[in-house]
Amino acid sequence: MAQINNGVIGHRGASAYAPENTIAAFNKALVMGCSFIEFDVMLSADGEAFVFHDDSLKRTTNGKGEIGLVDAEYLCSLDAGRWFSKEYQGEKIPLFRDVLKWLTFADISANIEIKPYRNTAKQTAVTVMSHLNRYWPQSKPLPLVSSFDKEALYLCRDLVPEMPLGLLLDSWDGHWSTTASELQCYSLHLNKRELTSERVQAIKAEGYKLFAYTVNSKRQARKLLEWGVDAVFSDYPDLLP
């Protein structure tokens, strides 16, 4: 695993400065000196892997419908930048393989979140692992693969035993330790609202890296890092010096 400079992971790239989950946002993060970005992977109806977050296309594109119900050709035709500002009009939803190729040449590391469209956990996990096998540069440390979907994470562990895995939790789970141990997780990724100093200490005591999302306040970021959180996901890669 690569090091995370200054305790900040660019959430969907530099998503406060450019349209989230686009090459533009990743380039912006790179220019800002970010060492680590996070992005999401979902599948189209015909099984192509795209870097995208929502089920619905409405919020971040000029498209209609849901990503898992339309084909790759339609998704490639959409504008994923105009919603953010005129400056980014024409920006596309990136193909996952194209982002992996971009990472080959960019001095930046990645947390890849598997975000399955409904009933596609297995297919999405297999697709992500096969893409990494084909396109991830041998010269770089393996990326961190995370998900809220435990089925997807268990399959990733079976397919690529050496892959660093992160367990995502939106609410506190009293059984987190058992799940993280079974998955041989590298890290836990928790909603900032669920963290207390005691919970941070409990997670760190078991040897896991701990990342908190989504933190856009310098004051809150510093408090979490003081508690022992290893890094925060932020829309502002320049949140902390």
Helices (H), the chain: 23-31, 72-76, 96-105, 121-135, 150-159, 176-182, 197-205, 218-227
Of 53, 131, 175, 189, the catalytic one is: 53
pLDDT of residue 1: 66
Between CA 114 and CA 122 the distance in angstroms is 10
3-state SS class at 139: coil
pLDDT of residue 161: 97
Percent of the chain with pLDDT over 90: 95
Percent of the chain with pLDDT over 70: 99
Which sign does the torsion angle of CA 190, 155, 54, 174 carry?
negative
Which sign does the torsion angle of CA 106, 110, 115, 120 carry?
positive
**Confidence class of residue 139 from pLDDT cuts 50, 70 and 90?**
confident
Average pLDDT over residues 155-181: 97
Residue range 46-100, pLDDT digits in tens: 999 999 999 999 999 999 999 999 999 999 999 999 999 999 999 999 999 999 9
Q: What is the pTM of this model?
A: 0.96
- For the record, the structure tokens of 166 come out as 């992160």
Which structural domains are found in the chain, ordered by start?
10-120+133-144 (3.20.20.190)
Residue linked to tokens 């996901």: 233
Which sign does the torsion angle of CA 52, 54, 60, 61 carry?
positive
Distance of CA 104 to the CA centre of its chain: 17
Phi, psi of 80 (to 5 degrees): -110, 15
- Cβ atoms < 10 Å from Cβ of 147: 27
Contact 60, 20 (CB under 8 A): yes
**Quick check: is 53 catalytic?**
yes
Residue range 37-51, pLDDT digits in tens: 999 999 999 999 999
Of 11, 131, 175, 189, the catalytic one is: 11
Q: Indicate the average pLDDT of the chain.
A: 96
**Quick check: is 175 catalytic?**
no
Average pLDDT over residues 198-223: 98
pLDDT of residue 75: 98
